[in-house]
A and B are shown apart, each in its own frame.
Chain A
Amino acid sequence: MPITFKDVFFTHDPNTPLAANALKGVNFEIEDGSFFAIVGKTGCGKSTLIQHINALLTPMSGEIRVGEFVNHPVKKKRQLKKVPELRREVGVVFQFPEYQLFEETVEKDVAFAPKNFGLKEKEALDEAHKALSLVDLDESFYKRSPFDLSGGEKRRVAIAGVLAFKPKVLVIDEPTAGLDPVGAEEMMSLFQRIHDEGTTIILVTHDMDIVLKHADKVAVMDDGKCVGVYDPKELFKEDISSYSLDDPLVYGFAKRVKQKGLDLDVSSIKDVDSLADAIIASKGGIL
C-alpha cells in the first residue's frame, strides 16, 4: 500500500496559548514494500507524523492517503470513513510499547487485537502463537504474566501483539531505545525479516547506523517539514550536522580518514565489513 503525505499541516492544542505547530506542510511518498526510515532531532515532528498514518490524528489541512484510505481534515474523527479497516492494515508500535501490556498472560495479551478484529477465541490464540514465534518467544511463555518478563521480552510481547493481526504496513517508533546492543540487533533483524516477507516498514529512529544498514529510503524531518527523501548512502555523503543528525559510525570514520588524506571510495559502504573492504582497496589490496 503506497502512502502519500500531501501538504499536511498539524497544530497541537489549536486556539489555546499552548498552540504549537508540529507539521508545517509535509510532502512525501512511501512506496509499497519499502523499508522507510524517518529521522530528525527530537521535537521535529516525527511522532506527530506517524500518528497521522493510522488516523490517530487528523490533519488541519492537507491529506494523507494510505492505499484507498484518505485521512483529511474533519470536525469530528468519526466522520472519517473506514478507520477500523485502516487500523487492521497499519500496525503501529509506539516507543516503549512494553508499557502498554495489560493482560494476565502473554498469549491473551497478544490475542487481544485479533479478537477485537473479530476472530474467535481459538483462532485468535493461534494467531497469537504464530506472532510469538516470530519474535522468538516459545510456548513456555504463553501462560506467563507479561509483567514477570524482562524488559526486552516485554517489548517483544508488545510487538507480537501488533504482528498478530498481520498488518500490511508496520510503523515502529524507536524500537531499539533502551535495549542492549545484542538485543537491538536481534530486534532489527526481526523487522528486516518481516520486511523481506513483504510488509512495508516505516521506522522512526535516531540511530543512523540502523538507517544505513536497513532502510532503502530515508526522510529527513526538520522543524515540522520533510526536507527531503534520500537513498541513505547519498544522504550520509552530505554534511548532515545542520539537521542535528550524527553520521553513522562507519561513515564518520570514512569521512575522517578521507579528510586526513586516504583516498577512500565511500559509495559501497554499508557496514563495518564493507568499510574494511573499502579501506583495503584504497591501500591497494593486501600486500
Chain B
Amino acid sequence: MPTLDEKRTILEVKGLTYSYDGEKNALNDVSFAVFEGTHTAIIGHNGSGKSTMAKLVMGLLTGYKGEIWAFGEKLEKSNMRSLRSRIGIVFQNPDNQFVGSTVADDIAFGLENRQIPHDEMQKIIEEFSKETNMERYLEREPSNLSGGQKQRVAIAGVLAMSPDIVFFDEATAMLDPKGRREISELVMRMRKRNPKLTVISITHDIEEAAKSDHVIVLEGGNKILDGTPNEVFSHEEKLRECNLSLPFFVTLKNALKSKGFNVPDDITDINALEDYLCR
C-alpha cells in the first residue's frame, strides 16, 4: 500500500477557524489534507468540533477564517455549487433525509434536480438500488424500512450523483450492529468498484477508525493527531486526554504487555495478532 503522502490530495483545509458566538472558537486553526481513494476517519468526543468541521466543508456554515480546497480549487461563493455537487453526504438520522414517497422517487430526487432524462434516470436508479441491495424495495415507502435499509437508500441517492467524495456524518450511530455491518460492507464494495472514490467518515466508532487508512483526531476545536491508524493509536496518553478509547486490538495488546507478555511491534492488526498467538 502506498503511504498517505504519495497519494493525490483531494480535499484540504488550511487554518480553518470558526466560532458560532464570536467568543469561543468551535474550530481553532485546523489544517489537514485528505487523499484521493482513501477512507479517512475524523474522530473526537461529543463537542470536539468534528460536526462543525463537516458542516464547513459541506458548505452548510459560512463565515469562517482559513481556506478550504477541494479538487485543486479554493472553495468560494462562485464555485461552491460546482464543487459541492461532487461531494455526497449521508447524515446521522435516517429519518431526516427522505423527500420521496417511494424508495425509487427518493433515489431519483437528486437526478431530477439535475434534469437527467427519464430513461437514463431509470437505468441509474436500477444500478444503484442493486449496488445497495435495495432493488426489491423500490416501490416501498422509505418510512417503513429499517434503519440500515434507510441509510442504504440514502447512500444509493448519493451514489447516483456519482460523487468523488462521500461524507458519512455519524451515519451509523443510530443503527443496530446488523445495520452498521451492512453499511460498512457497502462502503467496502463502493470503494472496490471505484478505487478513486474518497470516503470521509465522522465517527464515534473506534473500531471503524482502526480499519480506515487515515485518522484525524479533533479535541476542543484543535487537531490533536493525524496519521495512519497505527501511528494515531500508538499515542495512548493523548487519546486518553481526549476522552477517546483505544481499538480492541490495541487494548488487548497493551493488556498482554502489562502482564509481561510482549507482542512484537510489527503485529499491527487483529488478524496478525490472532496468527501470532496461534503459531
**How many chain-B residues does the 8 Å CB contact rule pick out?**
33
The contact of A182 among B45, B147, B274, by CB within 8 Å, is B45
Q: What's the Cα separation between A177 and B207 when bound, in Å? A: 15
Interface string of B151-181 (1 = CB under 8 A from A): 0000000000000000000100110111100
- Using CB atoms and an 8 Å cutoff, list the residues of chain B in contact with chain A: 44-47, 92, 146-147, 170, 173-174, 176-179, 204, 206-207, 243-245, 248, 251-252, 255-256, 259-261, 270, 274-275, 277-278
A42 touches B46 (CB 8 A): no
Name the interface size band of chain A: 35 or more
23 A–B contacts from the bound complex (CB under 8 Å): A41-B176, A41-B178, A151-B46, A179-B204, A181-B245, A183-B45, A183-B46, A206-B177, A244-B178, A253-B274, A256-B274, A257-B274, A257-B278, A260-B274, A261-B278, A273-B255, A275-B255, A279-B256, A279-B261, A280-B256, A280-B261, A283-B277, A286-B261
Chain B proximity of A246: nearest CB distance (Å): 5
Chain A proximity of B268: nearest CB distance (Å): 16
Given contacts A151-B46, A178-B174, A206-B176, contact A262 B260 (CB under 8 A): no
B260 touches A180 (CB 8 A): no
B259 touches A277 (CB 8 A): yes
What chain A residues lie within 8 Å of B170 (beta carbons)? 178
Q: Does A16 sit at the interface, judged by CB under 8 A?
A: no
Q: What's the Cα separation between A106 and B6 when bound, in Å? A: 52
Q: Does A43 sit at the interface, judged by CB under 8 A?
A: yes
Residue among B44, B255, B275 with the highest chain A CB neighbour number at 10 A = B255
Sample of 6 more A-B contacts, CB < 8 Å, known A178-B174, A178-B204, A180-B44: A41-B178, A43-B146, A183-B46, A207-B177, A246-B177, A276-B255
Q: Does A185 sit at the interface, judged by CB under 8 A?
A: yes
A178 touches B146 (CB 8 A): no
B261 touches A283 (CB 8 A): yes
The contact of B260 among A152, A179, A286, by CB within 8 Å, is A286
Chain A proximity of B3: nearest CB distance (Å): 28
